[in-house]
Amino acid sequence: MILLRSFAPIGRWLHFPWRYIGIITIVLVFSLILGSGMFFQKLGTDSPPGTWVFLIVTKGTFKYTRNPMYLGYITMLIGSSILLGTF
Protein backbone atom coordinates (compact mmCIF):
# COMPACT_ATOMS: atom_id res chain seq x y z
CA MET A 1 0.00 0.00 0.00
CA ILE A 2 2.83 2.39 0.79
CA LEU A 3 4.50 1.65 -2.55
CA LEU A 4 1.21 2.11 -4.40
CA ARG A 5 0.62 5.38 -2.57
CA SER A 6 3.99 6.72 -3.72
CA PHE A 7 3.13 6.05 -7.39
CA ALA A 8 -0.58 6.89 -7.36
CA PRO A 9 -1.41 9.12 -4.39
CA ILE A 10 -5.08 8.97 -3.53
CA GLY A 11 -5.22 10.53 -0.09
CA ARG A 12 -2.94 12.80 1.83
CA TRP A 13 -0.71 12.20 4.81
CA LEU A 14 -2.57 12.95 7.99
CA HIS A 15 -1.03 14.84 10.86
CA PHE A 16 -0.49 14.39 14.58
CA PRO A 17 -3.17 12.19 16.11
CA TRP A 18 -4.18 10.21 13.04
CA ARG A 19 -0.72 9.14 11.95
CA TYR A 20 0.09 7.84 15.43
CA ILE A 21 -3.27 6.12 15.73
CA GLY A 22 -2.55 4.28 12.49
CA ILE A 23 0.95 3.25 13.59
CA ILE A 24 -0.21 2.11 17.03
CA THR A 25 -3.07 0.13 15.46
CA ILE A 26 -0.70 -1.66 13.07
CA VAL A 27 1.78 -2.53 15.84
CA LEU A 28 -0.90 -3.79 18.24
CA VAL A 29 -2.63 -5.84 15.59
CA PHE A 30 0.67 -7.32 14.41
CA SER A 31 1.31 -8.52 17.97
CA LEU A 32 -2.23 -9.96 18.09
CA ILE A 33 -1.66 -11.92 14.87
CA LEU A 34 1.76 -13.14 15.96
CA GLY A 35 0.56 -14.08 19.45
CA SER A 36 -2.47 -15.94 18.15
CA GLY A 37 -0.37 -17.89 15.68
CA MET A 38 2.16 -18.83 18.37
CA PHE A 39 -0.62 -19.88 20.75
CA PHE A 40 -2.18 -21.95 17.98
CA GLN A 41 1.11 -23.77 17.34
CA LYS A 42 1.78 -24.20 21.07
CA LEU A 43 -1.40 -26.24 21.38
CA GLY A 44 -0.46 -28.31 18.33
CA THR A 45 -3.50 -27.37 16.28
CA ASP A 46 -1.70 -25.82 13.33
CA SER A 47 -3.28 -28.00 10.66
CA PRO A 48 -3.67 -27.22 6.96
CA PRO A 49 -7.14 -26.20 5.77
CA GLY A 50 -9.31 -29.08 4.67
CA THR A 51 -8.02 -31.58 7.24
CA TRP A 52 -9.89 -32.96 10.24
CA VAL A 53 -9.86 -30.82 13.37
CA PHE A 54 -9.26 -32.67 16.63
CA LEU A 55 -9.10 -29.72 19.02
CA ILE A 56 -11.08 -26.50 19.17
CA VAL A 57 -9.21 -23.68 20.89
CA THR A 58 -11.36 -21.63 23.28
CA LYS A 59 -8.68 -19.86 25.34
CA GLY A 60 -6.70 -16.66 24.86
CA THR A 61 -7.88 -14.45 22.03
CA PHE A 62 -9.86 -17.37 20.62
CA LYS A 63 -12.24 -16.92 23.58
CA TYR A 64 -13.44 -13.62 22.12
CA THR A 65 -13.29 -14.25 18.39
CA ARG A 66 -13.20 -17.42 16.33
CA ASN A 67 -10.59 -16.09 13.90
CA PRO A 68 -8.34 -13.54 15.63
CA MET A 69 -5.78 -13.71 12.82
CA TYR A 70 -8.34 -12.79 10.15
CA LEU A 71 -9.71 -10.06 12.41
CA GLY A 72 -6.15 -8.82 12.80
CA TYR A 73 -5.57 -8.71 9.04
CA ILE A 74 -8.71 -6.64 8.51
CA THR A 75 -7.82 -4.32 11.39
CA MET A 76 -4.28 -3.94 10.02
CA LEU A 77 -5.75 -2.80 6.70
CA ILE A 78 -7.87 -0.26 8.56
CA GLY A 79 -4.78 0.97 10.46
CA SER A 80 -2.79 1.33 7.23
CA SER A 81 -5.59 3.23 5.57
CA ILE A 82 -5.67 5.61 8.54
CA LEU A 83 -1.89 6.01 8.37
CA LEU A 84 -1.92 6.68 4.63
CA GLY A 85 -5.00 8.89 4.73
CA THR A 86 -6.99 6.76 2.29
CA PHE A 87 -9.95 5.84 4.48
The closest of 6, 13, 15, 64 to 35, measured between CA atoms, is 64
pLDDT at 68: 87
Task: Indicate if the pLDDT at residue 33 is higher than 80.
Answer: yes
Q: CA 19, CA 42: separation in Å to the nearest integer? A: 35
Alpha helices in 1-87 (DSSP H): 2-7, 16-42, 68-84
Average pLDDT, the chain: 82
Q: Which residue has the higher pLDDT, 53 or 39?
A: 39
Residue at 30: amino acid letter: F
The closest of 14, 27, 28 to 82, measured between CA atoms, is 14
Task: Indicate if the pLDDT at residue 13 is higher than 90.
Answer: no
